[in-house]
Chains A and B, each alone.
Chain A
Amino acid sequence: MSRQIIDCRRLLCPMPVIKVQNAIEGLPGGSQVEAVCTDPGALKDIPAWSRINGHRVVEAATRDGEYIVVVEVVEDSAS
């Protein structure tokens, strides 16, 4: 299972959401994307985007002052 890390530091929502969305496009089911963010809004917005687009949030946490959201691609939902 692959995990791609994307740097969303200094970006304000919805840019972290857009980066996750673009990273997921074309990835096979089971792949994971980890967004490292500094906008706390990412903790809500990335899970909301994942829910409505049918992907799974594996982790949403605060670590060392940064906000980490890991999304797993669900194949049938790939847009």
Chain B
Amino acid sequence: MSEQRKAAALISGGLDSLLAARVMQQQGIHVEGINFYTGFCVEGHTHAIRRRDQKKDKRNNALWVAEQLGIKLHIIDIVEDYKQVLINPRYGYGANLNPCLDCKIFMVHKAYEWIQARGFDFIVTGEVIGQRPMSQRKETMPIVSDESGAHDLLLRPLCAKNLPLTRPEREGWVDREGLYDFSGRSRKPQMALAARFGIEDYAQPAGGCCFLTDEQYAVKLQDLWRARGNKEYEIDDIMLLKVGRHLRPASHYKVIIAREEGEANFMQGYRRLYPSMTTVSHGGPFALIDGDVDDPEIELIARVVARYSQGRSAEQVELSFSDKSGRSRSLKVKPMAAHEIPKEWLI
């Protein structure tokens, strides 16, 4: 009896990677999943932060897919290593700050290191030629294979018949006839294959699972880089870009104002990392201040925060300002009128 071959499948939580892994299982391959965490994940985070989203039943789609397939899933933290991909993408950005091609090369490279360390034979992805305008095109398929270092150990079961033979096919580890020739943006072939496998429940594609494809998020990240004069970031920076209203009254500081209770609760966790402000005399938002500010600036921030409180029409609103060490002081200010907040402040 021949040795059972082992493949690592990149599992995003979407239908394509689910199907690619399932096709391999059908051919008797031992499959384990790999899921990468860049820090820019969308779904779970907004759910966890925003109170209104917590009413929905939430699931991590990558874990869910692994459970449906009956495979192990290894979730790998690549937050630090990913910075170089985002900061300096060789193939540039997509519509926003999404470095999709560099990202795919990087993830396949990481998967290649993983299979070498664990004695696995090859890598599987759910890529389909023409499915995505930047990273999944006929021209980019060999770029991903070669620049990742995986070369012919990268198999795309859903479109393999449109691509040159890979080693798993050449060596007979998998049967090319049992692979597919999907191409283009249509989802119908995938949905038909899912139906053949009896898979009815799967995550619907919704413009990607990465905040970097989101225009509003990209604007905030570009503002952060511009204000700092470089493209460095820490995980706390990119988490806070996901919450609140961001206003930048001056280049050296910005104010992040919670829009609802869930965001306020989440932002409270950053009180020892950033100065903060909250209303005392009226119901109002919690706010963080990113940057060094002097007394006149603190007063201006208080007037802005008061504007977003229930005391926006009052003559005076009392607020509490706390520095990073937790020392607090009180301020009484007149809330800013809506027309006094320049549009350019809103990021």
Contact of B75 among A9, A18, A38, A40 (CB under 8 A): A18
The minimal Cβ–Cβ distance linking A60 to chain B, given in whole angstroms, is 15
Interface mask (A1-21 → B, CB under 8 Å = 1, otherwise 0): 000000001101111011001
Q: How many Å lie between the Cα of A49 and that of B72 in the bound state?
A: 8
**Interface size of A by Cβ–Cβ distance < 8 Å?**
22
CB-CB under 8 A from B194, the residues of chain A are: none
**Interface size of B by Cβ–Cβ distance < 8 Å?**
27
A79 within 8 Å of B by Cβ?
A: yes
CB-CB under 8 A from A79, the residues of chain B are: 72, 74
B64 within 8 Å of A by Cβ?
A: yes
- In the complex, chain A residues 1-53 whose Cβ is within 8 Å of any chain B Cβ: 9-10, 12-15, 17-18, 21, 38-41, 44-45, 48-49, 51-53
Say what secondary structure dominates the interface of chain B: mixed
Task: Name the residue on A nearest B76 (C-beta).
Answer: A18
Q: How many Å lie between the Cα of A45 and that of B47 in the bound state?
A: 13
CB-CB under 8 A from B302, the residues of chain A are: none
Could you tell me if B63 and A52 are in contact, using CB atoms closer than 8 angstroms? yes
Contact of A14 among B37, B49, B67, B72 (CB under 8 A): B37
B192 within 8 Å of A by Cβ?
A: no
Could you tell me if A53 and B72 are in contact, using CB atoms closer than 8 angstroms? yes
B296 within 8 Å of A by Cβ?
A: no
Could you tell me if B44 and A12 are in contact, using CB atoms closer than 8 angstroms? yes
CB-CB under 8 A from B47, the residues of chain A are: 41
Contact of A41 among B35, B48, B62, B73 (CB under 8 A): B48
Could you tell me if A48 and B75 are in contact, using CB atoms closer than 8 angstroms? no
Binding site for B on A (CB under 8 A): 9-10, 12-15, 17-18, 21, 38-41, 44-45, 48-49, 51-54, 79
Binding site for A on B (CB under 8 A): 35, 37, 41, 44-45, 47-49, 54, 58-60, 62-64, 66-67, 70-77, 239, 269
